[in-house]
Amino acid sequence: MNLQTPIDDTVQVDFNSPYKLSVNGQLLDAEETFDVFNPATGSVVAKAPNASRAQVESAVAAAKAAQPAWARLSWEERGAFIAAYADALDAHKEELITLLTTEQGKPRHSMATTEVEYAIFWVREVAKRHLKDKVIEDTPDHIVTVSHTPLGVVGAITPWNFPILLGLWKIAPCLVTGNTMVMKPSPYTPLGTLRFGEIAQQVFPKGVLNIVSGGNEQGQWLTEHPDISKISFTGSTATGKKVMASSSSNLKRITLELGGNDPAILLPGTDYKPLIPTLFDAAYGNSGQWCIAIKRLYVHDSLYDDFLRDFVAYAAEKTVGNGMDPSTDLGPIQNTMQYDKLKSLFADVKAQGLSVPLGGEIDDGLAGNFVPITVVDNPPKDSRIVREEPFGPILPLIRWTDLDQVIRDANDTEFGLAASVWGPDRGEAIEVANQIEAGTVWVNEIHIHGIDIPFGGHKQSGMGVENGTEGLQEFTNTKTYMFKKSS
């Protein structure tokens, strides 16, 4: 594993800076601002507006005022606006990619480009979807139909690990179902969201999409606001519980996509060598900063020693560095809060005397938040590296012999977001997958998503789903109509 010295940050990012809030079709300054840092250099790249209480109130009021007219449009009319938004985003794609790498850290040539392009594709495809009314009963005397009506104003709170994708992932289904939105991005990565909020004002009627930035208090103002009908939140389980509690004031609908401690199980007889690049990317992509990353890799005893050797050899060739450098495979940890959590976890691995065949030592003398690719060899099941979600480029490989026990171990967590099972016998692998307690389980593949594939967590990994028909329905109320036919 190679750790680069950070390159000079010579790429200047200035997309009509200073960055502004989007409220009721207008771009607004705020009286206060906060610094946004480049995690690869530690330098301040911009100042973002810290929305005041009055500005958040204005954003909610604008969304509330705009919602009835927006809801009266047909699905096709709303879809046309959303498709036009996708085109507008596409015209600014290169700016958004560079901006994403600058504030988030992920490599520009790989994950940042993929995220922005995939997000635009997602918006364009969701614009084509709609929910159809369902006829429950139709007799000569009576008819019963079920339809889906908008909730009203949706508050969206987005995370720092995939700020572009997960922001647009919420916007498109929210708007196509006839709701309006107030979105607050993470204070660690607000710039891209503010930028695509600015682009949205060129497309949508005023008040349909509003963007306000700030810290925890702006999020709380949204979750407590009586005029917001739903909160869609992606982030940690701890924060999700707070969102759920504060949303109870007016029984808001909530969708929570939270943390995960996702297991992967390699069954005996698996031809693992062709899978190593896939498994590496699934664990370490985005420097491990995604909720569906492999965080525990269970390898059968018959494969373990060879797999460990080959996996470490592959990982050792990868480079951690500044995402603007084309030779970088993994970027920095996005923020110092998460960086400090990883330092604590690495210190615990060392204090417990666990075997670490790759990585293990964080050089906190570097300017950026760089963490080496690290493999932990067969730690005990009660160790922190197995029990906790690290959210960084460190992975425990765990040896197993008994199938029933490894299934119990995989399920022995408060989380239940996703998992994967790998094996030569597809039927056996599916049988194992059926016993895993998670919202998504992949068999002999991983990280496959789709506009029409629902995604959500079990246990403390969340509530509700995103994507698919079920995801669209999350932004609606179910309404039943019953009519007696005239005689």
| Three-state secondary structure readout of 222-286 | HHHCCCCCEEEEECCHHHHHHHHHHHHHHCCEEEEECCCCEEEEECCCCCCHHHHHHHHHHHHHH
CA distance linking residue 338 with residue 165, whole number of Å: 20
In terms of Cα–Cα distance, which of 429, 374, 223, 397 is closest to 304?
Answer: 397
Q: Which residue has the tokens 């647009």?
A: 168
CB 445, CB 453: distance < 8 Å: no
**Annotated active-site residue in 115, 291, 389, 474:** 291
Number of Cβ within 10 Å of residue 35's Cβ equals 11
Over the range 76-110, which residues count as b (16 or more CB within 10 Å of their CB) and which as e? eebbebbbebbebbbebeebbbbbbbbbbbbbbeb
CA distance linking residue 22 with residue 232, whole number of Å: 19
Q: Is the peptide bond before 18 cis (omega within 30 degrees of 0)?
A: yes
In terms of Cα–Cα distance, which of 272, 232, 270 is closest to 252?
Answer: 232
**Annotated active-site residue in 103, 198, 257, 474:** 257
Over the range 242-271, which residues count as b (16 or more CB within 10 Å of their CB) and which as e? bbbebbeeeebbbbbbbbbbbbbbbbbebe
> Residue 257 — left, alpha, or beta (φ > 0 → left; ψ -120 to 50 → alpha)?
beta
Sign of CA dihedral 165, 93, 112, 214: negative
Sign of CA dihedral 186, 192, 195, 197: negative
180-184 vs 209-211, strand pairing mode:
parallel
CA distance linking residue 189 with residue 26, whole number of Å: 21
Q: Give yes or no: 117 in active site.
A: no
CA distance linking residue 77 with residue 385, whole number of Å: 50
Q: Is 426 exposed, middle or buried (0-12, 13-18, 19+ CB in 10 A)?
A: exposed
Q: Give yes or no: 174 in active site.
A: no
Residue numbers annotated as active site = 257, 291
